[in-house]
Amino acid sequence: MESDVVGPLAVQPLPVALGQLKPIVEWWLTSTDAIQPGDAPPATAGESLALISSDAPELLPISGALCALLTNRDAAQVTSTTYDEFGRIDHDAWMIECALVRDHLAHLRPLRSNLPELRASVPAEISDLSDRMCAPGGGPIIVDGPIAAASLLLAYESDPECLERIRPLQSGQSQTESLTWEYLRIDPILPISTGYPDGELLDVGIALINRALTLATRR
pLDDT tens-digit readout, 177-186:
999 999 999 9
Question: What is the model's pLDDT at position 136?
Answer: 87
Rounded mean pLDDT of 13-37?
A: 94
pLDDT at 85 over 90: no
Find how far residue 39's CA is from the centre of its chain: 26
pLDDT at 219 over 80: no
pTM for the full predicted model: 0.91
What backbone phi and psi angles, to 5 degrees, belong to 140?
-65, 145
Rounded mean pLDDT of 140-150?
A: 98
**Dihedral of the CA atoms 116, 120, 122, 126 (nearest 10)?**
80
Contacts of 6 (CB under 8 A, 6+ apart): none
As a whole number, the mean pLDDT across the chain is: 93
pLDDT at 89 over 80: yes
Question: What is the model's pLDDT at position 6?
Answer: 41
Q: All domains of the chain, ordered by start, with CATH?
A: 8-216 (3.40.50.10210)
pLDDT at 43 over 80: yes
